[in-house]
Amino acid sequence: MLKGGRAHAQEELAIVITARRLLALCARLARGNDFPRVLWACILNKVPPEDRKATGETFDHDVGLMRKQATGT
C-alpha cells in the first residue's frame, strides 16, 4: 500500500467509507466538533492501521480545502 501523498495522487487507497460514516462525520461537524477529532471518531479509527496516515492526508487534502474555504481560515 502506498503511503501519504503518493497514495492520494495515484488514487490507490483501498478503503471503503460508507455513507453512514460520512453522515455521522457531517452531523458531528454540524454540532461544532473540531475536524481532526471527528475524522478520527468517524473514519480513521475504523481504517486499518497501515492506511490511517494516507487516509487522513487524503481527507485533509480534499475536505480540508473545503473547510478552509468555508471558514476563511
Count CA within 13 A, CB hemisphere, residue 8. Answer: 14
Name the packing angle between helices 35-42 and 19-30 (round to 10°): 150
16-38 residue pLDDT tens: 889 999 999 999 989 999 888 88
Q: Tell me if the pTM is above 0.85.
A: no
Mean pLDDT of 36-60: 86
Domain ranges of the chain: 16-71
pLDDT attached to residue 23: 94
DSSP E strand stretches across the chain:
none
| pLDDT tops 80 at residue 67 | no
Q: What is the pLDDT of residue 3?
A: 46
